[in-house]
Amino acid sequence: MGRGRTTTNARTNPERGARDASRAQATASKSKARSADVSATGANLKEWNPKSWRQREALQQPNYENQAELEEALKVIANRPPLVFAGEARDLQEKLANAAAGNAFVLFGGDCAESFRDFTSDNVRDTYRVLLQMSVVLMYGSGVPVVKLGRMAGQFAKPRSEDLETIDGVSLPSYRGDNINSCEFTPEARRPDPSRLVKAYDQSCATLNLLRAFSNGGYAAMTRVSDWNLDFMENTERGSQYEDLAQRVDAAIDFMAACGIDETHPSMQETSFFTAHEALHLGYEESLTRLDSTTEEHYGCSAHFLWCGERTRQPEGAHMEYFRGISNPIGIKISDKSDGEGVVSLVKKLNPDNVPGRITLISRMGAAKLREHLPRLITAIEDAGLNVLWVTDPMHGNTIKTDNGFKTRPFEAVRDEIMAFFEVHEKMGTYPGGVHLEMTGQNVTECTGGIMDVSVSDLEKRYLTHCDPRLNASQAIELAFLMASELNDMRRRRAAQ
């Protein structure tokens, strides 16, 4: 929910507690009277089916030369097993509702765009491992559970500003992600190829197999927290800081064991890990939409969480038509150009019964614009009494191009937007529920700054991204320590009110 509804807040601010209790009661009453047109998870099912988006204008879709080839590829995918399951998505929605109420923090992280070339088990493991490290830092520092979502197992497609890219007078289709075409600037490479959708499905399936094994096979056990440090971070300041924290976690586990608490309990040996991506290619999403036999609700089974960007969230567009009928928790990107009335209207359309955990609003503005524009959007949502989870994307509002031709993101700008996000929510009395990062477990040099002081001249050393620049492991963990410290300070200030 927008308002932080911890017991402390309700007790120290009776007016806020009463308002939140009233909102919760209204939501509960509404759910009892829910019509057949709205699912239990909040989906708007009126005159909806998985194909109904085809009657609307669909932006950011590839121009395939052979529609028969496309339909055949989509048929192959439709006959494959779902990548995720409805029950997992419902579990995630409950956790997101908990975060929206101020009782957890959400961490999104992973590649800007997954690639076929860089797909290896080591790369998947290393990104997963950094997310585990970040979650431990955040949990230990903030004192709340961390909900982990990877931009993995499906984050291929990218929106483009133009359909064509022109170099030296030659125009070819823009690169839209490895599931559509290839980044090499040749006519054959840039031709949208439907068979790549099937390859993307297969890679997503393999990635999910690894993630499930890591999460449930002992790799994510809290007793292994000291083993998660990456080799290249040894003997670095952040590596040492993490090792110090890991030793404190180990000491806490030893204390628990001495008290008779079983360290082999599943909660200590396993973790929940969810996948998320931008649902851009609607044919692919439709092919992986399934009717859940236990609830008779439709789920987008390409990922647990799907989001929509600013380029495709037109209220009457094809993407919003698809999104309104799936029962997954969904995200909406918003910027300084978003107007409060429009965002409120869209949230109501996608979540007509105001079900908690259904909608996540992901702001992407840059620190200065966030301080100026986020308060009016929060006010609009709060005045409308809507349940949303607030998350910041500090990456996309901070992309610059250097004189030597590299796109980069200064670490300090990313950090400042996160801190501005925390600052605004604390002033507004609402809860900053999570962060959405483009990052990797690889030792890349794509974003400048951070404790390792990556310079503009360093960018060419290990600039490996297929699309936008990513934080490396050291920078990502540095952010986790900074966020944990600020969240802890905010918690103390709330308790002292």
**What's the rounded Cα separation, in Å, for the pair 408 and 471?**
10
**CA angle at 253 for the pair 247 and 257, rounded to the nearest 5°:** 145
Rounded to the nearest angstrom, the gap between the alpha carbon of residue 468 and the centroid of all alpha carbons in its chain is: 16
DSSP 135-198: HHHHHHHHSS-EEEEEE-SS------S-SEEEETTEEEEPP--TTT--SSSSHHHHS--THHHH
CA-CA distance, 27 to 21, in Å (whole number)? Answer: 10
Residue 67 contacts by C-beta under 8 Å, 6 or more apart in sequence?
Answer: none
Q: How far is CA 263 from CA 26, 81, 224, 256, in A?
A: 41, 35, 12, 8
User: Pick from 73, 30, 118, 79: which is nearest to 288 by CA?
Assistant: 79
Report how far residue 53's alpha carbon sits from residue 359's, in angstroms, rounded to the nearest whole number: 20
The structural domains of the chain, ordered by start, are: 7-61+68-156+202-220+270-496 (3.20.20.70)
Residue 153 carries which side chain, given as an amino acid letter?
A
What SS3 state is found at 332? strand
Q: What share of the chain is helix, strand, coil (3-state, %, to 5)?
A: 45, 15, 40
| Through-space distance between the first and last CA atoms of the chain, rounded to whole angstroms | 21
CA distance 366 to 382: 22
Look-up: residue for tokens 């609003």? 361
Q: Which amino acid is at 53?
A: W
Strands (E), 314-469: 330-334, 359-363, 389-392, 400-401, 407-408, 434-438
3-class SS of residue 272: coil
Q: Which residues contact 344 (CB under 8 A, 6 or more apart)?
A: 380, 381, 384, 386
- At residue 454, the 3 state secondary structure works out as strand
List per-residue pLDDT tens for the chain, 497 residues long: 444 433 334 333 444 554 555 555 555 445 444 456 899 999 999 899 999 999 999 999 999 999 999 999 999 999 999 999 999 999 999 999 999 999 999 999 999 999 999 999 999 999 999 999 999 999 988 889 999 999 999 999 999 999 999 999 999 999 999 999 999 999 999 999 999 999 999 999 999 999 999 999 888 887 777 666 655 556 667 667 777 877 877 777 776 677 776 666 666 678 999 999 999 999 999 999 999 999 999 999 999 999 999 999 999 999 999 999 999 999 999 999 999 999 999 999 999 999 999 999 999 999 999 999 999 999 999 999 999 999 999 999 999 999 989 999 999 999 999 999 999 999 999 999 999 999 999 999 999 999 889 999 999 999 999 889 999 999 999 999 999 999 999 999 988 98
Cα–Cα nearest to 485, from 24, 193, 142: 142
DSSP string covering 421-437: HHHHHHHHTB---EEEE
In this predicted model, what pLDDT tens digit does every residue of 294-330 receive, in sequence order?
Answer: 999 999 999 999 999 999 999 999 999 999 999 999 9
- The DSSP result for 11-61, as a single string, is HH-HHHHHHHHHHHHHHHHHHHT--TTB-TT--B-TT--TTGGGGS---S-
Q: Are strands 164-167 and 170-173 parallel, antiparallel or unpaired?
A: antiparallel
Dihedral, 441, 446, 451, 453 alpha carbons, nearest 10: 150
pLDDT tens per residue, range 68-106 = 999 999 999 999 999 999 999 999 999 999 999 999 999
Q: Half-sphere exposure of 381 toward its Cβ, with a 13 Å CA cutoff?
A: 28
Residue 276, strand partner residues: 305
